[in-house]
Amino acid sequence: MRTTVELPSELLRAAEAHAAARGETLKEFLTRAVAHELGEAVTPRSRRGKVRLPLIASDRPGRVDLANAEIDAIFAADDAERANH
């Protein structure tokens, strides 16, 4: 479905840069970001079968007990690792 969203130019540039760094289109990036904010999982068509997020071990399979700050730290470490390769 198409829609029009007006974003501040600096936010749009940052979103485009993040999408490019992840090898995604802006559409894929925004779809994933909105789904994440809504707490829904989205598997973009072009990425099916590939794991893009860091995998996190758990003592109880199917459940992971992490605070938002811990999740942010995991993503930051993953982003830093990707930037170094």
pLDDT values of the chain reduced to their tens digit, one per residue, 85 residues: 888 999 999 999 999 999 998 888 999 999 989 988 888 877 655 555 566 666 676 777 777 778 888 888 888 888 888 787 6
Q: What is the 3-state secondary structure (H, E, C) of 17-48?
A: HHHHHHCCCHHHHHHHHHHHHHCCCCCCHHHC
14 with 30, same domain: the answer is: yes
Q: What is the pLDDT of residue 27?
A: 92
Q: What is the pLDDT of residue 62?
A: 74
Q: What is the pLDDT of residue 61?
A: 73
Q: What is the pLDDT of residue 30?
A: 92
Other Cβ atoms closer than 10 A to 67: 8
28 with 59, same domain: the answer is: no
Question: 21 is in which domain, residue-wise?
Answer: 1-52
41 with 57, same domain: the answer is: no
Per the structure, how many domains does the chain have? 2
Our measurement of the distance from residue 83's CA atom to the centroid of its chain's CA atoms, rounded to an integer in Å, reads 15
